[in-house]
Amino acid sequence: MDMFPGGGVMDTSCRKNVLRVKRNVELEPLERVDMDAVLKEGRMGFEKYALRCAVLRSLGITHECAKKIFLAGNCNVDRFLRLVDLNARQEALATAFREMEATAVQLHSMNVKSLSISLSDNRAWIKETCERRVPDMVCQCLVSTVIDHVFEPLQNIALTILYGDGVRDRLIPDWCNEYGLSGSQWEIPTFIIIRSETGRSFYVPAFCS
């Protein structure tokens, strides 16, 4: 499998490709898009490259799978990086959820609402539920793509939609600040957790677009 590179050494030889990412997406076939260059985009992109590769490796995402997710996000570099960087926070969020459960803290007390679908093999129904509940059409496409290409075909899938100002202010404030989504800049803060029966998860943020 064509996995992302490991280790902490960054290859800067494709720095010139970073400036061509958007042009490649618009004018060339998707298979020619340099995903390594995409991962080095954005603020402190080169510094974050190794971490982003590690996140994708930990999720079992190959270059080919990453390209499909990139395409599902309308080839929007910023949106793809938001997605990767949100998934870099999985462990911290999982710890926060465990602590909340241990101390009987309810999501609604944090101004967060949730909608959950238990583990099911009916992926079409899960996707339809997401489409009904989340108005962001790009997010709907991302969720569908992740379900189809990140998780094994026969695995049962569960879906949790978390929304409300507490998502922005209490659950992922550092991520929101990093991407300029604090205050009223993120209308109806929402993110979706897709989880398989093995416990493997993937997070997708939703916007009113």
Residues of the chain with pLDDT under 50: 7-28, 209
Distance of CA 136 to the CA centre of its chain: 14
pLDDT, position 154: 85
**pTM for the complete prediction?**
0.84
Which residue in 151, 163, 111 sits closest to 127, CA to CA? 151
The predicted-structure confidence for 143-182, as pLDDT tens digits, reads as follows 999 999 999 888 999 999 999 999 999 999 999 998 888 8
pLDDT, position 90: 93
Helix/strand number for the chain, H first, E second: 11, 4
